Every structure is written in C-alpha cells, then in structure tokens.
Homo-oligomer: A and B are copies of this chain.
Amino acid sequence: MGRKLGLDLDQVVAAATQIADSEGLGALSLASLASALGVRSPSLYTHVDGLDGLRRQLTFHAARLLTVELTDAAEGLEGTKALTAIAVQLRSFAHRHPGLYETFLPAPTPDEDPDLASALEGPVKLVGSVLASMNIDPIHVIPLIRALRSAVHGFIDLELHAGFGLPDDIDDSFTTTINLVIETIAAVEEKAMLDQA
C-alpha cells in the first residue's frame, strides 16, 4: 500500500470525462472515479478539491475542448455559414460528450467563480464576433445571440433527455430549427444594409 501511481490531474479529468460521457454526469462520484482509477476515494483529494472541485475541473476541460472545436468549425467561414457550422459542431459535441455538455449548466456568475465564468465565455464570444462582423444593428445583437443559443441548446437538451417523443428525422428537425433562426438573422442583416443605403 501507499505506493505512488503517479496519478495527475489530467488523468483524473480524463477518467472523469469517460464516466460522465458514458454513464451520465450524475453517475460521476468520487467513489466511481476512484474505482475506475484503481485508487481509494480519499486519494482523489490530492488532485481535486472534492466532488465540487472535480466537476469544476471537468467544466474547464469541457470549455477548452468546445472552444477549440467551435473555433475550428468556424475557421474560414463568415456570416450565416459560420453560424450554421458552429451550431452543427455544438450539437456534435453534445452527442460525443453528453456528460461534458451537461457541465455547462448551471453556469457560475463572474463573481462566484471568475476564472470558470471567463472560460465559459469563449464560445459565446465566438458567436458574438461572427455577428459583429455581420452588419447587424447592435441593438439586435444580444437578442439574436440569445435566440440562437436558446434554439440550439433547447434542441440539444430535449434530444439528450428524450424530450422528443418520436424518433423520426431528428436531424431534419435540427436543420429546420437552426435554419429558421439563422435565416431570420440574415434577414435582419439584409434589412440593416438596406436601411444604410
């Protein structure tokens, strides 16, 4: 006993990710994680500040991963193409990492946990910058970001939690949903350009 396994935070987070994504975030306990790592649960306190700390680290990991994925997805695209690519990639992330996706809510306020709050801003800022380059009246930007986020997140959340009764054509429904919002955004852009002229 007492031998060192050389366990570090990355391995802990990787194993936690595995559990959360395959069995659900709710199934991630210090006990289950310790067991997966071949260690006793108190040992995890060396790497992580209890269960809350573990979840916090998982959220950081998720935010970093997602930010990279979305940035790559939008790479070289502009306007509605970029928005669509981001939405599709976010849904793909949620499918591949349902446990990590779950860690995004509830989100901490900036005064509760400034570091985590700012890590979570990455994706929001990305969408914001796309809209900023889209010639939209600044007054409309925030409501439109929220509409898009709501539609995409709502769809994913319902999909992940069996909210849609019928299994048919879920991909089609997703396309309809995001096109509906993104085309409206494009229409607002059009209008802004006409008003300018």
Contacts and interface: CB of A to CB of B under 8 A. Distances in A.
Q: Which secondary structure dominates chain A's binding surface?
A: helix
Contacts of A146: 155, 158, 164, 173, 176-177
A170 to B, nearest CB: 8
A163 B149 contact: yes
A143 B169 contact: yes
Contact of A157 (B105, B108, B110, B169): B105
By size class, the interface of chain A is: 35 or more
Interface string A69-109: 00000000000000000000000000000000000111111
Interface centre among A110, A169, A173 (most CB of B within 10 A): A173
A168 B142 contact: yes
Interface centre among A108, A161, A173, A180 (most CB of B within 10 A): A180
A47 B162 CA distance: 28
Contacts of A105: 157-158, 161, 163
Interface of A: 104-110, 117, 121, 124, 140, 142-144, 146-147, 149-155, 157-158, 161-166, 168-169, 172-173, 176-177, 180-181, 183-184
